[in-house]
Structure 1
Amino acid sequence: MKKLFAVLGNPIGQSMSPQMHNDLFAYYNIDAHYHPLLVKVESLADAVKGLKAIGASGFNVTVPHKSSIIPLLDEIDPLAREIGAVNTVVNQDGKLIGYNTDGPGFLKGLNRLLPEIKGKNILIIGAGGATRAIYFTLAKAGAKNIDIYNRTAARAQELINSCSFPVISNAVSMERAEGSLDQYDLIIQTTLIGMFPNTGEKPLDLEGVKSGCVVCDIIYNPLETMFLHNAKKKGLPIQNGIDMFVFQGAIAFEKWTGIFPDTDRMKKNVLKQLGGTIC
């Protein structure tokens, strides 16, 4: 019997997950199909109940449901509960178990450039939902210091206060962040600044960043933001948002099937969907 997987969100038409996962099912000869499902906020409970009733093997969750789905599930992974968001659900013998693979996906993709997080000094730009998943995951992984720069300092401090993992963190201003760039081993841009069509924007200036600092931007449209372009001009190792997207999907696929998939194949699939060019 063909297994059913899905992604729940609103909007959902832009999701690259169906093509990515269906290609993997075919590649590994798994009799399954992954469907995009447009689910309105008021219909989420019915959608989850329906997927459970028909025996769906698992599903992804995207905006705006990552937090509101938590009380509808039978069990929540500890990291997902700490983050307060679920993006992957596994049906284990009729029990719906929620996970967050966004943070772990970012970390796994980052390992190619930075194999060890423990003891590192990190600056994160932004304080939204993606920031929370990344921040909690890096804190759990043993980062020494994680500073957060956000235009609204109170929101950055609120995020810091909500983290139970032992890590030194400060909510910093743009001036303080730019004046301390020489102390960071990793800088992560998590806001929408620089996303298409506003490709000329950047969140801060990289003057003074130390040699060898890894610079990430979780945006992938364009594939190289102005922020990453400036980092590359300085000879710094850079990474866009494709790796995070691919590896969060790979971890979800492994939880559903027991197979950790070919991430190079996944990346090629995503690039094909994006047109394979910098917008």
Structure 2
Amino acid sequence: MNYRLGLIGFPIQQSLSPWIHQQFLKQAGLEGDYCLFEIAPDRPFEKEISRVKNEQLDGFNVTVPYKKRIIDCLDDLDEDARAIGAVNTAVQRNGKWIGCNTDWIGYTTGLKHHYPSIFQNTTSSILLIGAGGAARGIFYGLMKEGFTRIDIANRTQSSAEAIAALARTNTHTSVITLQEAENRLAQYDLIVQTTNIGMKPNVTDTIISLEQLHEDSIVSDIVYQPLNTEFLHQASQKGASIHYGHTMLLYQARTAFELWTSKQVPVDDMDEQLKRKLEGS
């Protein structure tokens, strides 16, 4: 079987997803390709999605800014995508397109791989910065892992409150301002930066000051271009442990690949290979 896979979003020409999935196809002993379908915001979205579907794809990924908009173009959602309210992976099953979300497991798996110790204490205090689609997935994933204290800091309080509404009865969540986050930073064991602030070309930007950061904290940034964001650079200068954003990209891709092909593939040294590719970009 020759698998036809792809990615929709904008902009995506610099995406590393084709490289990742070609590695997975090779490891699984499968033939196939992974194409980019860039849809500019001024294009008729539904018409463009129909065109993509006519490409006889077995599945496709969805990235910004279409993770919510794609939902109306699909036949159904799986449990995770429905709960999160966002789709990053579409799978064709029995002639129908099913929307899934692998971002949440991509984030938690990557974090667990590098910092397994934090998962041994589910009362660890966590701060999410930002309240977009990525934050929704990460909040959901950390909640599924059993963490009971997850606060959200965002400029727009209503967006953060919408994510807090996902909380289970044993999950305690406070919605705070970015200024409050700066002032309280020392109390958090894990700080996750979920916005695109600091992404190329605006590499000197940071969303909050890390002046109050505790050196025992883990600081995570989902931005991976550049790999070592200014946010992570400042965190490392304060003595904190840092977690790079490329691991979420890699592990969400692995789960998507398994959904499409039913093949489990080892990541092996791909984490380090992807890191080197990003450092050289």
- Normalised-by-shorter TM-score class: 0.7 to 0.9
Counterpart-to-counterpart distance in 2, 1:174 and 1:51? 40
Does the 8 A contact of 1:123 with 1:146 survive in 2?
yes
Contact 2:227 2:275 in 1 (8 A): no
2:147 to 143, 147, 157: 143
| 3-state SS of paired residue (1:64) | coil
TM (norm. structure 2) is 0.87
Root mean square deviation, CA, Å: 2.4
Give the structure 1 partner of residue 133 of structure 2. 129
In structure 2, the residue matched to 1:226 is: 230
Instruction: Please show how residues 116-195 of structure 1 align to structure 2 within 5 Å.
Output: 116=119, 118-161=122-165, 163-166=166-169, 167-195=171-199
Give the superposition deviation at 1:98. Answer: 1.3
Q: Which amino acid aligns with 2:106?
A: G
Deviations 1:46-75 (A, max 9, x none): 454455556422111122321122132222
Structure 1 residues 100-109 or 129-138, which shifts more? 129-138
The superposition leaves residues 75-134 of structure 1 with CA deviations (integer Å, 9 ceiling, x where unpaired) of 211121121111111112323221111121111101123331732211111112211211
1:65 match: secondary structure: coil
Cα 1:66/1:210, change in 2 over 3 Å = same
Greater shift, 165-174 or 51-60, is seen at 51-60
Which stretches in structure 1 are left out of the alignment for 5+ residues? none
Which amino acid is the alignment partner of residue 145 of structure 2? A
Gap change, CA 1:238 and 1:264, over 3 Å in 2: farther
Q: How many residues matched? A: 276
Distance (whole Å) between structure 2 residues aligned to residue 213 and residue 179 of structure 1: 15
Would you say the 8 A contact 2:167–2:173 is kept in 1? no
Q: Give yes or no for the alignment of 1:36 onto 2:36.
A: yes
Residues 13-52 of structure 1 aligned to structure 2 (within 5 Å):
13-40=13-40, 43-49=44-50, 52=53
Task: Indicate conservation of the 8 Å contact 1:52/1:91, yes or no.
Answer: no
Does the alignment pair 1:87 with 2:91? no
Amino acid at match of 2:81: A
Residue number in structure 1 paired with 2:74: 73
Q: Which residue does 2:10 correspond to in 1?
A: 10
Alignment partners' CA distance in 2, 1:164 and 1:123: 14
Amino acid at match of 1:31: E
Percent identity, aligned pairs only? Answer: 39
TM-score normalized by the length of structure 1: 0.87
Deviation at 1:239, TM superposition (A): 0.9
| Residue 271 of structure 2 corresponds to residue 270 of structure 1 | no
1:258 corresponds, among 258, 262, 265, to: 262
- Structure 2: how far apart are the matches of 1:164 and 1:231? 28
Counterparts in 2 of 1:269 and 1:46: CA distance versus 1, 3 Å: farther
Runs of 4+ in structure 1 deviating by more than 6 angstroms, as ranges, are none
The letter for the 1-side match of 2:245 is G
Asked if the contact 1:5/1:56 (under 8 Å) is kept, the reply is yes
Contact 2:81 2:101 in 1 (8 A): yes
More displaced 10-residue stretch of structure 1: 215-224 or 191-200: 191-200
Matched-pair contact (CA < 8 Å) for 2:194–2:221: yes
**1:149 Cα shift?**
1.4
Deviates more, 1:142-151 or 1:202-211: 202-211
Q: In the alignment, which of 207, 210, 214 is matched to residue 214 of structure 2?
A: 210
Specify the code of the residue in structure 2 equivalent to 1:187: I
SS of 1:180 mapped into structure 2? helix
Report what 1:56 is aligned to. 57
